[in-house]
Amino acid sequence: MSSDRPPIPAELRRAVLVEAGHRCAIPTCRQYPVDVDHIIDWAKVRRHEFDNLIALCPTCHARKTRGEIDTKSMKQYKINLGVLTSRYTDLELRLLRWLVDYAPGRGRPMLPDGMYWAVGDLLFDGMIELREDGWLLPSGRPDGPRPISFHEQQATERRAKYVSLTDKGRELVRRWFGAKPLD
């Protein structure tokens, strides 16, 4: 860092970190710790502005520096992060990531009755759906899901619903992870 470069003001730095949840802004990464980096390099812009700052882990920062993540993608990740964090809670965004990254082959997550409010915006926007049918992955069984019995189904329906991504939700995640504009 050049000696004539002033530090990023603490309030601005804090705003960028809060926007990203103190995690890497690259949606397929989300690691921590992170630092705040300029999307368009400081040497070109010579100013600190919120729209040009992004939280990156050391690995993604190095990938950006090497040109493996281009400026256009960085700008879109920043825009998408603002859109998503203004609309969805951290819990909802984690659920979207989980449904894409972990749920295939591991069974669908269940949402306890009375907790639907926690994913209300995803439900309202048609990104996820709650279903009564499906499979139950019993704890302690790594070999995969099994069909649930009639009695288990009745008990489960009173307590929980299965959460699934809709086609609209899959498209949102595809665009988000692919650094494409969100509609």
What pLDDT score was predicted for residue 171? 92
Q: Are 64 and 56 in contact (CB under 8 A)?
A: yes
Q: Is the peptide bond before 33 cis (omega within 30 degrees of 0)?
A: yes
pLDDT at 32 over 50: yes
Mean per-residue pLDDT, 36-55: 95
pLDDT at 56 over 70: yes
What pLDDT score was predicted for residue 116? 81
pLDDT at 159 over 50: yes
Q: What is the pLDDT of residues 102-143, one digit of tens each?
A: 655 566 677 777 778 888 899 999 999 887 754 443 433 445
Q: Are 36 and 2 in contact (CB under 8 A)?
A: no
Hey, where are the domains in the chain?
A: 10-87, 90-177
Round to whole Å and give the CA distance between 82 and 18: 11
63 vs 90, residue with greater confidence: 63
CATH of domain 90-177: 1.10.10
pLDDT at 100 over 60: yes
pLDDT at 10 over 80: yes
101 vs 163, residue with greater confidence: 163
